[in-house]
């Protein structure tokens, strides 16, 4: 039995909860004699590439895989653009193969594990209550993928990651000590083994891989970001203009602008980082309900207290992801 795990975090592996979870799953699978490969998408920087498809050949690892799992973190109310673009690859390949009468993923089992912040809430008296994960981001990720056979079709596999705004999730360095996480991993492996079926692809590995090939210049997110070596004032301004033209979801824009702001800082490109900060700041300003939107525009009382509120689809600049390093 063979498995492939895609770790879809924007962070380097050593700093990533998605990678830590993937490594825990891989160790547990190896103990069950399941040969397991982890593909960390951060190592390929595909969204910033302009040459060959850096990830394409890696997909060959999925050819013989019985089990394929996506470890997909959430950033600004969306799964990471790494995960979204990977899902697009699978949807594209499935559609292309189906046109030839080929079920490209026959015999394979899939699963999605979402890494998200805790969802605990508070009653009016201040008492904290546990809020069950509602599967929103799992459904979001699965909606981008083709119709697949999932190991846990009636369950939302997820990891409630520790964050400063809600400190109940396990630390990424101690996942192997967290009973709930280990139980979820064990349940997934047992369900996989129970539903395992022998299969042999009807196409060669070369033909199988060819269905993932796309020559479109912006295929699967190419051009979403800039490589460190491509950062300059002109390229950044063109990238910002491209993002506004092609990305409508403000939270996806936030993923891109905040990631690139951090990448510029790491590359010692201060002026370019400031350009992205300006865009990030404007998203936050546009997302606010201004006092005039919710109160009498005649400001008769100079001491009136105005409570900050957010538009329904507005970007909330107060989210923890806005401040925490994302390591892009």
The closest alpha carbon to 257, from 236, 235, 233, belongs to 236
Strand partners, 35: 2
Residues 174 and 86 in one domain: yes
CA 318, 322, 325, 328: dihedral to nearest 10 degrees? 170
Cα 56 versus chain centre, distance: 19
Domain total in the chain: 2
- Cα–Cα distance for residue pair 244/253, rounded to 1 Å: 8
pLDDT digits (tens, 9 = 90+) for 163-199: 776 777 888 899 999 999 999 999 999 999 999 988 8
Residues 165 and 128 in one domain: yes
The CATH number for 105's domain is: 3.40.50.360
Residues 301 and 243 in one domain: yes
Residue 292 pLDDT greater than 60, yes or no: no
Domain span including residue 295: 225-322
Residues 203 and 229 in one domain: no
pLDDT digits (tens, 9 = 90+) for 1-45: 999 999 999 999 999 999 999 999 999 999 999 999 999 999 999
pLDDT digits (tens, 9 = 90+) for 126-139: 788 888 889 999 99
And the tokens for 245?
A: 């033209």
Position of tokens 């190991």?
151
Residues 193 and 102 in one domain: yes
Residues 76 and 116 in one domain: yes
- Cα–Cα distance for residue pair 226/208, rounded to 1 Å: 30
pLDDT digits (tens, 9 = 90+) for 145-154: 999 999 999 8
DSSP string, 210-258: HTT----TTGGGTTSS--GGG--HHHHHHHHHHHHHH---HHHHHHHHH
Residues 169 and 282 in one domain: no
| 8 Å CB contact between 251 and 283 | no
Residues 36 and 69 in one domain: yes
Which residues lie closer than 8 Å to 36 by C-beta, 6 or more apart? 2, 3, 4, 5, 25, 26, 29, 30
Q: How far is CA 129 from CA 67, 122, 163, in A?
A: 36, 6, 17
And the tokens for 310?
A: 């957010």
pLDDT average, residue stretch 319-327: 81
pLDDT at 295: 46
Residues 180 and 259 in one domain: no
Residue 296 pLDDT greater than 60, yes or no: no
**Cα angle 93, 99, 105; round to 5:** 45
Q: How far is CA 313 from CA 77, 131, 140, 192, 305, in A?
A: 11, 22, 16, 38, 24
Residues 90 and 140 in one domain: yes
């Amino acid at each position: 039995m063979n498995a492939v795990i895609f770790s879809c975090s924007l962070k380097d592996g050593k700093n990533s909860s998605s990678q830590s979870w993937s490594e825990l799953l891989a160790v547990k699978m190896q103990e069950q004699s399941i040969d397991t490969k982890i593909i960390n998408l951060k190592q390929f920087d595909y969204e910033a590439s302009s040459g060959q498809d850096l990830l394409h050949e890696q997909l060959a690892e999925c050819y013989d895989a019985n089990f394929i799992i996506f470890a997909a973190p959430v950033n600004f109310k969306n799964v990471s653009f790494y995960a979204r673009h990977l899902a697009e690859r699978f949807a594209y390949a499935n559609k292309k193969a189906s046109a030839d009468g080929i079920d490209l993923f026959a015999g394979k089992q899939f699963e999605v594990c979402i890494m998200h912040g805790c969802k605990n809430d508070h009653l009016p008296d201040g008492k904290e209550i546990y809020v069950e994960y509602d599967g929103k981001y799992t459904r979001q990720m699965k909606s981008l993928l083709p119709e697949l056979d999932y190991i846990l079709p009636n369950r939302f596999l997820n990891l409630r990651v520790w964050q400063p705004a809600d400190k109940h999730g396990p630390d990424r360095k101690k996942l192997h000590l967290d009973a709930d996480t280990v139980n979820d991993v064990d349940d997934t492996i047992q369900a996989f083994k129970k539903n395992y079926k022998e299969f042999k692809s009807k196409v060669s590995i070369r033909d199988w891989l060819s269905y993932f090939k796309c020559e479109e210049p912006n295929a699967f997110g190419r051009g979403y970001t800039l490589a460190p070596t491509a950062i300059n004032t002109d390229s950044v301004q063109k990238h910002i203009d491209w993002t506004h033209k092609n990305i409508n979801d403000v939270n996806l824009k936030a993923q891109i602008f905040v990631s690139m702001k951090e990448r510029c800082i790491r590359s010692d490109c201060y002026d370019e980082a400031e350009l992205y900060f300006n865009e990030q700041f404007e998203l936050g300003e546009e997302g606010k309900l201004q006092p005039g939107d919710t109160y009498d525009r005649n400001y008769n009382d100079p001491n009136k207290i105005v409570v900050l509120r957010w538009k329904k689809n507005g970007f909330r600049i107060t989210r923890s992801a806005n401040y925490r390093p994302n390591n892009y």
